Structure 1
Amino acid sequence: MTTIENASTRTTAPKRLGGAASRPVLRPFVVGAICRRDLARYFTNVAGYVFIVLFIATSSVAAFWPEAFFANNLATLGQLNELMPYLLLLFIPAITMSVWADERRQGTEELLLTLPARDLEVVLGKYLAALGIYTAALGFLAFGLTLVLAWLGRPDLGVLLSTFLGYWLMGGMLLALGMVASLLSGNVTVAFILGALFCAVPVFAELLGGLSSTEGARAIEAASVPAQFREFGRGVVPISGVCYFIGLAAAMLYVNVALVGRRHWAGGEKSSGLWGHALVRILAVIVAVLSLQTLVARAGWRPDLSAERLNTLSDESRSLIKNLPSDRPVFIEAFFSPEVPREYVEAKQNLVGLLKEFDALGGQKIQLNLVEAERFSEEARRAEQQYGIAPRNVFTASEGRQGFDEILMGVAFTSGPEQVVIPFFDRGLPVEYELTRSIRTVAGAGRRKVGILDTDVGMLGRFDFRSMAQNREWQVVTELRKQYEVTSVSADSEIPADLDALIVPQPSSLTQPQIDNLVAYVQSGGPTLLFMDPLPQFDRSPQMNLAPTQPKEQPGGMFGGGPPPEPKGDLTPLLELLGIEWPQTEIVWNPYNPHPKFTELPPEYVFISPSSGAPDAFNPKDPITSGLQELIVLFGGYVRPRVGGGPDFTPLLRTNEEGGIVRFESLTTPGFFGIDIDPDRAVHIATGQDYTLAARIEGDAPATTDEDEDADGEGEGEGEEKKAEARGIHALVVMDLDLISDGFFQLRQSGSEEFEFDNVTFVLNAVDSLVGDDSFIDLRKQRRRHRTLTLLEERDRAFEAERLEQEAEAEKEANEQLDAARARMDEKIAKIEANEELDDRTKQVMLAQVREVEQRRLTVAEANIEDAKRRKIEESFAAKERQIRAIRGRVRLAAAIIPPLPALILGIVVAIVRSRRENRGATPTRLA
């Protein structure tokens, strides 16, 4: 109390908020004195450190102990972000329960409130003290959690900074609310319970949106603490969220001041009127704060602290806007629902925010019209009739309900006669890329021409005799139409030379004349993207007729009819022209899987990632693949350069050396509707080498020989002319057709956090590179970095390598035992055959008996050896799982101990110092 008593001697002014005009509104030295008093009282008390240690330990357990943390394999605080608002329901009341209630319990309230300090100064002093306590606890927590994440992987420090800023703002607001509860009770326990109940109102308001789909319920849900914090956890600092937390904290502090000041008029003649007046003022302040937050939210200011800065316009977009022709402005009309489900809030905010940035930078070159369209409104009808933008039924899931909501979120771009419409922005669509590409497309002079060769795949849509239905065009075609003029190309005649690029899905399904036409196009220098797959898997089933080793499908499907199709041709001329080899019956497998949640996936699902241990998994020097993070290939093949040489062969996608191959015939079995995959009978051959799954092939085409020219009846001069016209090979080869199937586009649109692959990005980059337009490649590759738990991945790879070695040893031992058993049988047979004392009939009888007996023994031995091998393989799997669980257990233990350790040590030091001070000057006999 000495500090406050000294402060009180500096002025004798009354404590009311009114006073002389010359007096300052707020005196910092008074606020500081009260703050220092409460801080000293808390941090010199061991109980205060106990609460801090419990808070840090509980938060650490919530962050790192759930199995989902290891299943997601991400160096983030995603688990803690979901639980932090609810953890604060316990920790915040523990801080605020003694702010006012303890003053009453100790009898110091009257002394404090009779000091020459204004009510506002007293409230601010106590609030800053509580905020200082929370800040110290949060600082210890931030240090410990960052240390653990840096040990496990490479976290994004910008995202962590915004996350802890969100924690701090959230706690600061709840502290002001908890102080109100402490003012209403003189009992510390009751103050804690009231504080938890008061703080639970804005925290659990999020549940109201899950119980009802009305606009009012959604508005309350959007104003809840978890909803306002969510963007902080993604690395974005929304100014609207900052205003929300600071504004509500200020409003609750005003309530504190009003409640403290009630002693000036409570019980008087006008007390009832003053109570009503105070209540109206409090409600007015809260409404003003929420209104300000709504206005700021409409402005869309959202600084991005993440390393990728996905919510800030890139240099490519700024350059595009700068170079737009001023005589052809781009008109943008965006139609969106006023209220959207929680799952689409971020997508809507990103869309609206980036559109406003484009509009601000474009000036007169971009004319933006944002239209909030209710269902069945005139604006919604105009969007559908004029642009084809219709409401979309989207699935929503929250705590209270699951169902479908109909929302509108589409954009139309127009410039002169050109128009591009994006009917709906799904959650996973890269917003900036879609906007930039659409603006460039409508503002450009013309579109490049991309052809798709008409093969048995039917990418442009065709009638399917198996399902007796018309198939739609693949989504990759729809995606390409947004940027290019896409046309169907027949392989039955000469392929047009005016194509900027040609996409060839599964060339092995072509007939020989069609292959010859394709070879002529490639040899002439036509840019070509080839997809070759030993076992196509799109439409969720093996495509029997598309596998290169299988015959063409009969006309009419399973019902037959029509003449037999022309057989598939020989792909050797095309492979020789490209200078490559493709073993068409070999499928690549690899044990690397960075998604522990999906360990049941077969090893033929090959994950390509730099974290797999292959430093050149994505070619860092090629613009198509540099910067990609993860890609998956389903039952794909591999390609290698031909021994005799050829054009330049540049790998784009490569596996690590931990896998091998599985042959087509051992993996598949004939089924009623085609080929069935039988993983149990598959023989995985470990080769210990990496495989190229995609490559760029460029260089001179092989020269035409004189024999070929003579065979064609061409003269020497005509042959030289043809050779001069050759422009060289310009091709990309991808050894998986499923890589561009619709499933990956659907994953991209849904914004799946479990499976966020670069398959779509890789294919679109490949087309852009062939066309010669690299303007979108860097922009398309921008996405949040998949920061995995590298420490656990390294341990997992080591365990997997050890397991594969044990499996290989078991296989080798089993083969040796089988060979020995067969050798024993052969030895007995040879011994009988070499016995010259036996006649031929006796030999035949004895040989038959020996073969029968030994064959039974061999069959039993083979079964026993196979069972022993299987047990050893199962034991190796079990050993690996035990090792992984042990590693995770050590991580959990370290995560529970390391973060609270600094606060615990500091608390022990304070306890020792306090004990010595209390015992200083005491006689030894008294201490005894």
Structure 2
Amino acid sequence: MTTIEKSDSRTTAPDRPGGAGSRSFLRPFVVGAVCRRDLARYFTNVAGYVFIVLFIATSSVAAFWPEAFFANNLATLGQLNELMPYLLLLFIPAITMSIWADERRQGTEELLLTLPARDLEVVLGKYLAALGIYTAALGFLAFGLTVVLSWLGSPDLGVLLATFLGYWLMGGMLLALGMVASLLSGNVTVAFILGALFCAVPVFAELLGGLSGAEGARSIGAASVPSHFREFGRGVVPLSGVLYFVGLAAAMLYVNVALVGRRHWAGGERSAGLWGHALVRMLAVVVAVLSLQTLVARAGWRPDLSAERLNTLSAESRQLIRDIPSDRPVFIEAFFSPEVPRDYVEAKQNLEGLLKEFDALGGGKIRLNLIEADRYSEEARRAEQQYGITPRRVFTASADRQGFDEILMGVAFTRGPEQVVIPFFDRGLPVEYELTRSVRTVAGADRKKVGILDTDVGMLGSFDFRAMSQAREWQVVTELRKQYEVTSVSADSEIPADLDALLVPQPSSLTQPQVDTLVSYVESGGPTLLFMDPLPQFDRSQQMSLAPTQPKEQPGGMFGGGQPPEPKGDLTALLDLLGIEWPATDIVWNPYNPHPKFTELPPEYVFITPSSGASDAFNPREPITSGLQELIVLFGGYVRPRSGGSTDFTPLLRTNEEGGIVRFDSLTAPGFFGISIDPDRAVHLATGQDYTMAARVEGEGSASVAEGEDEGESGSDAAGVNAIVVMDLDLISDGFFQLRQAGSDEFEFDNVTFVLNCVDTLVGDESFIDLRKERRRHRTLARLEQFDRAYEAERLEQEAEAEAEADEQLEAARTRMDEKIDRIESDDELDDRTKQVMLSQVREVEQRRLTVAEANIEDAKRRKIEDSFAAKERQIRAIRGQVRLAAAVVPAVPALALGIIVAVIRARRENRGAIPSRLA
């Protein structure tokens, strides 16, 4: 009753500006006074710094000590992000346990609550004090971890900012929850335990959701702290996540105010009903906050703070999502292995992050289900049976082992009867392009029709008489089928006019009637992509018969019979129509090679890249080529505009001026199995000029009038030439698709991107061109990579020395045996019979010695190689140990130094004025 009377005296105090009776809802100076009181009590106590140092040290160890940090090779806090919610279960209760419990234990609670301050002001003051303590600890941690990451590499500061913002919001919400626990007990230890239990509910909600059904697990898991924090760890600041943490913090502060105010009504006859009423109000506030957060999540406001824009969808992807009808959503199921090798970490993070962006921006239009599936789990079995998604066997190299692992990383897109499955996301695939294209395909977008002319190349797959088997279709065809309706087109009859584009591989292999049919199609304005190669390399068994200067191959192969094939046609009419010249016997060569490790490549492997010195290597004004970085052409030709031609000739790919040409006849030589390449007899002519190896041709065309036709009639149906000519067929061979899928660090060629861009441009759909060119790069541990490269170079050098030493010893052993044999053979005093016996004995004995010596030398070489590898691993592990030690110590040094300074100052103040004899 005394407490209530004192409380009433506050409400009847005279009104004065800022006074107890002020009508203002919240008085900042009161809140500030309570906050400063608690902050001073914490930061003048050495025990507070001990907790901060322990928090920093524990977080640093969690961030940098796991082997996964080095295996992933990313300059991020990925490991700490997974553990931070659980670390806060210990640190947050350590801050909040004394906020109310200590007041009650020391008997200052009554004094505090009878001051002229409202309950809300007291609660806010104490909360801001706790938040200030946590912010200071987090500031020390952020500074230390950023320093360590900056020493190891070049971290993305935007991602770090979003990550620490997530830490701060997450801790702020848990602080309000921990304060509730401190209000319920006067014992500090009990308050700590209760605080940990209360905070564990939202932190472990994902695990609790696993006890219910699939839908319940998904709903409960979505309301957990780790689920909402993960977006911040990727560099995204979602409004829904901010509202989740801020809203729950506000709700818990409301609970604090309600519990503090219970002294006004607790203990009376009406208290039983009021307790129920208060509980309902508290639950209603929490439910309201979660409901509001769910509604806001559909707005999709989620800025990407990463400097590399790792989580930003393109305008094309956003427009595609907007165009999906709400009543027909797209279902996406993605299957991941929990752990993937180092080379696939970035691919997994890119795929998982962009899928979440599709889901967040799509709202109800896209339903995403991310599934972590172990190799033999029920989920992996369902992925294989339902979608054909199977584990891929990939190479794994780490400090502990080298070998192969089987990992899952496939995605299935479903909408009604339509289904698109990407069985495995190779690390070289442009992720957003693949996702956007698959969503658009399954969403029922109209597919353009692309035809592939049936030539001797057999791009769609044909029967191979040499191997007596059916050849597979080229991977470029498989790639085109993902986006277009691909059909085979025969040149023996009129080419359909409803094609949106026509691919013509090696038109020089067509017969004359087929060439005439192709000319008619091109003259009618049909979009055409021509691949004209003077020396195809994709199939060594038939490359010479596909060369334009060579006759067609006999039916049935080399030993086949039957009628001789019809001769190849003359392409003059086609070239005249296009207004171009193609010297079919000239092959371009160039000495520029930007890859020092592969200097053995012949100069006919031409690298197209701006770094070669050719500023217009990729035409920057054409969407097809702008933004490309490097492309390679194998034994390709060149094209130039014909003098007096009426078409517009736009170069797409150009070499620099350092190379020249080599004639087909000088590069090849006849042999038993036909003509083959002979680099030794090649004559490389240096011309000092650049060459166009691909071009776009547009205009009215300049084909001569067909014999017997009136000039006006022949041109009446012409719609203008629309063609792209590429002077290499190998540019789209399967090898480049395999390189693209593997994501080779040495070869990142844009061959596939260039060809697909050509097709998109011809069909009039350029929405995917920019997506294909994207390269999302994560910041890596550059310093450790330098150490790894240096140690690897040293190891390879030692291995080469061991190889050379072994070869030298073997050569010396063989020389000794040869010398003994020569001495016997040159001894004129021995008769032939004796020489033969002695030579036989010497050869037998020396051969046994040589065999033993070879075994010993090989064994010694193997041991040296193993020792060099072991030395490299020891050096790498030593570096990692130094990093771990520095990471555990450096971040905690500032807080530790400040704590020591406070301890010294406090000790001096306590001893000030004391009798010296008592201090002795």
Smaller-chain TM-score bracket: 0.5 to 0.7
| Structure 1 segment 628-647 matched on structure 2, within 5 A | none
Match of 2:796 in 1: 804
Match of 2:96 in 1: 96
What is the rounded CA distance, in whole Å, between the counterparts of 1:204 and 1:143 in structure 2? 29
1:926 correspondence with 2:915: no
What is the rounded CA distance, in whole Å, between the counterparts of 1:125 and 1:334 in structure 2? 49
What is the rounded CA distance, in whole Å, between the counterparts of 2:209 and 2:564 in structure 1? 61
What is the rounded CA distance, in whole Å, between the counterparts of 2:801 and 2:56 in structure 1? 47
1:528 correspondence with 2:528: no
Aligned counterpart for 2:727 among listed residues 726, 730, 743: 730
Match of 2:685 in 1: none
What is the rounded CA distance, in whole Å, between the counterparts of 1:270 and 1:119 in structure 2? 21
Change in CA separation of 1:330 and 1:735 when aligned onto 2, cut-off 3 Å? closer
| Structure 1 segment 755-834 matched on structure 2, within 5 A | 763-769=752-758, 776-782=768-774, 784-834=776-826
Match of 2:643 in 1: none
Give yes or no for contact 1:825–1:854 (8 Å, CA) kept in 2.
yes
Match of 2:68 in 1: 68
Match of 1:907 in 2: 899
What is the rounded CA distance, in whole Å, between the counterparts of 1:216 and 1:30 in structure 2? 45
Letter in 1 for 2:769: I
What is the rounded CA distance, in whole Å, between the counterparts of 2:633 and 2:726 in structure 1? 20
Cα displacement (A) at 1:877: 0.7
What is the rounded CA distance, in whole Å, between the counterparts of 2:232 and 2:61 in structure 1? 21
The one-character-per-residue Cα deviations of 1:291-332 (angstroms, maximum 9, x if unpaired) are 1011111222211112233554546779x99xxxxxxx9775
Give yes or no for contact 1:308–1:783 (8 Å, CA) kept in 2.
no
Aligned counterpart for 1:880 among listed residues 847, 872, 885: 872
| Structure 1 segment 264-413 matched on structure 2, within 5 A | 264-309=264-309, 311-312=311-312, 314=314, 332=325, 335-336=328-329, 349-351=356-358, 353-354=360-361, 396-397=372-373, 403=379, 404=382
What is the rounded CA distance, in whole Å, between the counterparts of 2:508 and 2:847 in structure 1? 48
% identity of equivalent residues = 62
Which residues of structure 2 form unaligned runs of 5+? 1-7, 337-350, 388-410, 523-527, 545-554, 566-581, 599-609, 638-650, 657-689, 696-722
How well do the aligned residues superpose, as a CA RMSD in angstroms?
5.9
1:151 correspondence with 2:158: no
The one-character-per-residue Cα deviations of 1:269-311 (angstroms, maximum 9, x if unpaired) are 2111111110111111111111101111122221111223355
Cα displacement (A) at 1:351: 2.5
Cα displacement (A) at 1:393: 9.8
What is the rounded CA distance, in whole Å, between the counterparts of 1:776 and 1:490 in structure 2? 29
Letter in 1 for 2:71: A
SS in 1 for 2:797: helix
Give yes or no for contact 1:162–1:233 (8 Å, CA) kept in 2.
yes
Change in CA separation of 1:547 and 1:801 when aligned onto 2, cut-off 3 Å? farther
What is the rounded CA distance, in whole Å, between the counterparts of 1:49 and 1:467 in structure 2? 79
Letter in 2 for 1:698: M
What is the rounded CA distance, in whole Å, between the counterparts of 1:496 and 1:836 in structure 2? 88
The one-character-per-residue Cα deviations of 1:762-782 (angstroms, maximum 9, x if unpaired) are 623443157757764333333
What is the rounded CA distance, in whole Å, between the counterparts of 2:564 and 2:889 in structure 1? 71
Cα displacement (A) at 1:78: 0.9
The one-character-per-residue Cα deviations of 1:831-851 (angstroms, maximum 9, x if unpaired) are 111111112222222112111
Give yes or no for contact 2:636–2:693 (8 Å, CA) kept in 1.
no
1:846 correspondence with 2:849: no
Cα displacement (A) at 1:470: 11
Letter in 2 for 1:808: A
Cα displacement (A) at 1:474: 7.2
SS in 2 for 1:486: strand
Change in CA separation of 1:434 and 1:924 when aligned onto 2, cut-off 3 Å? same
What is the rounded CA distance, in whole Å, between the counterparts of 1:434 and 1:919 in structure 2? 70
What is the rounded CA distance, in whole Å, between the counterparts of 1:758 and 1:293 in structure 2? 46
SS in 1 for 2:693: strand
How many equivalent pairs are there?
744
Change in CA separation of 1:880 and 1:627 when aligned onto 2, cut-off 3 Å? farther
Change in CA separation of 1:303 and 1:463 when aligned onto 2, cut-off 3 Å? farther
Which residues of structure 1 form unaligned runs of 5+? 1-7, 322-328, 357-369, 374-391, 414-419, 537-543, 549-554, 568-572, 583-587, 592-613, 632-636, 653-694, 701-725, 749-754
What is the rounded CA distance, in whole Å, between the counterparts of 1:316 and 1:446 in structure 2? 17
1:579 correspondence with 2:588: yes
What is the rounded CA distance, in whole Å, between the counterparts of 2:180 and 2:861 in structure 1? 70
SS in 1 for 2:298: helix
Give yes or no for contact 2:810–2:854 (8 Å, CA) kept in 1.
yes
Match of 2:860 in 1: 868
1:740 correspondence with 2:749: no
Greater CA deviation, 213-222 or 432-441? 432-441
Give yes or no for contact 1:502–1:526 (8 Å, CA) kept in 2.
yes
Structure 1 length as normaliser, TM-score?
0.67
Match of 1:363 in 2: none
The one-character-per-residue Cα deviations of 1:441-472 (angstroms, maximum 9, x if unpaired) are 9999995846377789876699999999998x
Cα displacement (A) at 1:350: 2.4
What is the rounded CA distance, in whole Å, between the counterparts of 1:105 and 1:629 in structure 2? 69
Match of 1:665 in 2: none
Letter in 1 for 2:780: T
Structure 2 length as normaliser, TM-score?
0.67
What is the rounded CA distance, in whole Å, between the counterparts of 1:213 and 1:339 in structure 2? 20
Change in CA separation of 1:24 and 1:499 when aligned onto 2, cut-off 3 Å? closer
Cα displacement (A) at 1:213: 3.5
Match of 2:693 in 1: 698
Cα displacement (A) at 1:399: 14
Change in CA separation of 1:398 and 1:878 when aligned onto 2, cut-off 3 Å? closer
Change in CA separation of 1:469 and 1:839 when aligned onto 2, cut-off 3 Å? closer
Change in CA separation of 1:785 and 1:483 when aligned onto 2, cut-off 3 Å? same
Change in CA separation of 1:491 and 1:316 when aligned onto 2, cut-off 3 Å? same
Cα displacement (A) at 1:731: 3.4
Give yes or no for contact 2:173–2:246 (8 Å, CA) kept in 1.
yes
Match of 2:572 in 1: none
What is the rounded CA distance, in whole Å, between the counterparts of 1:204 and 1:176 in structure 2? 17
Cα displacement (A) at 1:562: 11
What is the rounded CA distance, in whole Å, between the counterparts of 1:26 and 1:842 in structure 2? 119
Cα displacement (A) at 1:102: 0.7
What is the rounded CA distance, in whole Å, between the counterparts of 1:266 and 1:187 in structure 2? 21
What is the rounded CA distance, in whole Å, between the counterparts of 1:771 and 1:304 in structure 2? 29
SS in 1 for 2:256: helix
Match of 1:225 in 2: 225
Cα displacement (A) at 1:618: 15
Give yes or no for contact 1:130–1:175 (8 Å, CA) kept in 2.
yes
Match of 2:111 in 1: 111
What is the rounded CA distance, in whole Å, between the counterparts of 1:283 and 1:173 in structure 2? 16
What is the rounded CA distance, in whole Å, between the counterparts of 2:439 and 2:214 in structure 1? 34
Cα displacement (A) at 1:531: 15
Change in CA separation of 1:589 and 1:20 when aligned onto 2, cut-off 3 Å? closer
Change in CA separation of 1:885 and 1:44 when aligned onto 2, cut-off 3 Å? same
Change in CA separation of 1:738 and 1:93 when aligned onto 2, cut-off 3 Å? farther
Cα displacement (A) at 1:532: 11
Change in CA separation of 1:476 and 1:760 when aligned onto 2, cut-off 3 Å? farther
SS in 2 for 1:451: strand
What is the rounded CA distance, in whole Å, between the counterparts of 2:843 and 2:128 in structure 1? 93
